[in-house]
Structure 1
Amino acid sequence: MSAVLTQRIATRPSLPRALLREHALLLAIVALELAAALALCAAYPDKYRHNLQLEGYLATLAMGLVFALCGYTIYVMIFQRPEHLVRYLKQHLSAYLTRERLLFSAPVLGMMPLFAASFTVLKAAVPMVQPYAWDARMAAADAWLHGGAQPWELLQPVFGNPLMTAILNFNYHLWFFIVLATVYWLAFNLERRQLRMQFMLSFVLSWILLGNVMAMLFSSVGPCYYGFMVPGADPFAGLMHYLRDADKVIPVMALQVQDTLWHDYSLHSGTNALSISAMPSMHVASSVLLALLGWRLNRAAGIALTVFAVLIQVGSVHLGWHYAIDGYAGALGAIVIWTLCGKLLQRSEQ
């Protein structure tokens, strides 16, 4: 962004207009998602027990800020090593969190709980709009792509021990904290405004186009629930048996979450926040977006976040959450959306 535009942002009389212009497309997309969610809640009031469940997402908003602050504190402790940590943090955060920066972050921070709640409502409608029917085909596609074997079988020689499973499981849950911290870091970032908006647009569009639309088109539950949904032999029974055994050595948190999701789906047909959807993998899609962002920041961040995305893909298969093809589709979709959003912003700047 040009210095002239940055000066406009910092000019108080023009700040509200600049904020609206800067975030207009992002807010319009979120508004459409919210409208669709509200329409769905109104059309099926008996299906949605807590409607938008905003209280949970407002709590997540606060959690994200805490994660970002913790991440910054750890960075300071490792790389800056000030003599007086609290004084250093107070001085630098006071200088960083100016009035303009706080106002600039407000549209993103305000829309995130609404977007998360709206996404959840639409995701919960997946089995209602399109009953789960693609799992057998997903499993067959995985076997065809991987020489006749299921991908989890190919991973077992390397990751088929409790310690490696625990590492993948930890990394898979770490995803939540890294994504939230990144979103809130970018919300306050005045210095990389075009990159910031490219990520934000890619982020919300990937969750809508991949996590809502594509999930409905290819409605599936994933390997961990295959045996409950598909008649006949279960090609993932061996994987789930292994995970149960590994859980006795080192707890596998994924199993507890999977059991909770299935119990909730069985009781409530999935129409709430604990709904099930496998294709595509949004863990992988969002991790690929993080890697793409990382490469635009610096080489070290690009390498680290690429490794993280690869481990998320491996973990999604090894822990029984996804077919490998779910991750491939999520990664490809994220790259396409990121590229198109970048071109759109470049064109708007000309």
Structure 2
Amino acid sequence: MTLFAAHVGAPRFDLIVLAVTLSGLVALLHGARFLAAFVFRRAEANSWPVVMALWDGALVSAALAFSASFGVLKSQIPTVNPFWADDLFTQMDTVLFFGKPWELSHKIIPSFVTPAIDFVYFLWLPMLLATILIVGMFAPEETKRRFFVSYLAAWSLLGLVIATAFSSVGPIFGDLVGGQSFLPANAPFAHAASAYLREGYVNRAANVGQGISAMPSMHVAMAWLYVLCFPKLRILTVPFFAFIAVGSVHLGWHYAIDGIVAVIGVAAIWSSSRRRSSEAERDNHRVAMDGHGVRAVHAFRITLNRLRSR
């Protein structure tokens, strides 16, 4: 979101408009699909196409609207809890990796690879929007339920609660907390995005994507959610996750510990969503069985009355 907003100059409610537009598109496509299924009498025809289309559209709209408002909420973090944890995370990274990971990565990774990492990191937002739309339209109900539960929980618990408790800026904005900034020279997207974020912080603006927060890395969190949610696509999701995880440190956006916490947090949320989904499935099955039981009793009574009438 940050990178996208930095390059298109998005006003505060642009993504809300996008959310409504995409949710409407979901509804229209669902309606067309179910209408075709009804006309051609295919097995996928459903008695409630409009309801299902509107429900899926509402899921997409809610997720995107929440994402649009997230940057505004994140911009208030230093007001609620001023940045304090950067020294702590720098020390933790130094102990874990025997040095500052963002400096070590540039000793290991050739400089000509940095623009590629920067570009993939920029693709994170288009990937997020596409994933929300595709899951909302085409994913099986179980996958859809777990994805959106995990998505909203991750942004709320990790992106707001933990981010506020451990308020930090990351190496790229080290100068804002009395340290030294770290930003590779050959990372144009990172330069544009950091300038946009810095402008918002200095002007105390609350625009889309202008909040600064390092712990935990929501880029890493969402990339890891893709790995967990789409096991059949791991040939694609794992390399994407690796690029995002490395890029979050290599470009100076995050401390390595930010990504570690993100992975652990999303894994816990995903595991919890499975238990909740299983409970919901059992409840649905119980309701269905109860319905069958009522129909069975009704059929028995009809049969008994017929026997008596004879």
Larger-Rg structure: 2
Give TM-score, length-normalised by structure 1.
0.67
Equivalent position of 1:292 in the other structure: 228
Matches within 5 A, 1:242-281: 243-244=184-185, 246=186, 252-268=188-204, 271-273=206-208, 274-281=210-217
Equivalent position of 1:169 in the other structure: 118
Give TM-score, length-normalised by structure 2.
0.75
Does residue 311 (structure 1) correspond to residue 243 (structure 2)? The answer is yes
The CA deviation at 1:302 is: 1.5
Aligned partner of residue 255 in structure 1, secondary structure: helix
The CA deviation at 1:282 is: 0.2
Aligned partner of residue 276 in structure 1, secondary structure: coil
The one-letter code matched in structure 1 to 2:172 is C
1:187 to 125, 136, 147: 136
The CA deviation at 1:61 is: 5.3
Aligned partner of residue 168 in structure 2, secondary structure: coil
Does residue 209 (structure 1) correspond to residue 157 (structure 2)? The answer is yes
Equivalent position of 1:302 in the other structure: 234
The CA deviation at 1:159 is: 2.2
Identity between Structure 1 and Structure 2 (%): 30
The CA deviation at 1:63 is: 6.8
Aligned partner of residue 216 in structure 1, secondary structure: helix
The one-letter code matched in structure 2 to 1:132 is F
Change (3 A) 1:208 1:224: same
2:61 to 85, 99, 110: 110
Does residue 282 (structure 1) correspond to residue 218 (structure 2)? The answer is yes
2:256 to 310, 324, 328: 324
Do 1:210 and 1:330's aligned partners in 2 also have CA atoms closer than 8 Å? Answer: yes
The one-letter code matched in structure 1 to 2:13 is L
CA distance in 2, matches of 1:170, 1:153: 20
CA distance in 2, matches of 1:292, 1:217: 26
Change (3 A) 1:62 1:170: farther
The one-letter code matched in structure 2 to 1:202 is S
The CA deviation at 1:55 is: 4.1
Q: Deviations over 1:194-216 (max 9, x none)?
A: 11100110001000000000000
CA distance in 2, matches of 1:135, 1:121: 22
Do 2:22 and 2:61's aligned partners in 1 also have CA atoms closer than 8 Å? Answer: no
The one-letter code matched in structure 1 to 2:118 is N
Equivalent position of 1:134 in the other structure: 85
The CA deviation at 1:156 is: 1.6
Do 1:104 and 1:188's aligned partners in 2 also have CA atoms closer than 8 Å? Answer: no
Equivalent position of 1:219 in the other structure: 167
The CA deviation at 1:267 is: 1.5
1:58 to 13, 17, 40: 17
The one-letter code matched in structure 1 to 2:227 is A
The unaligned stretches of length 5 or more in structure 2 are 1-10, 27-31, 38-43, 283-310
The unaligned stretches of length 5 or more in structure 1 are 1-51, 69-90
Matches within 5 A, 1:323-342: 323-342=255-274
Aligned partner of residue 203 in structure 2, secondary structure: helix
Equivalent position of 2:106 in the other structure: 156
CA distance in 2, matches of 1:211, 1:341: 18
Question: Aligned residues, how many?
Answer: 256
Runs of 4+ in 1 over 2 A off after TM superposition: 52-57, 59-66, 91-104, 116-122, 157-160, 270-273
Do 1:207 and 1:282's aligned partners in 2 also have CA atoms closer than 8 Å? Answer: yes
CA distance in 2, matches of 1:95, 1:170: 40
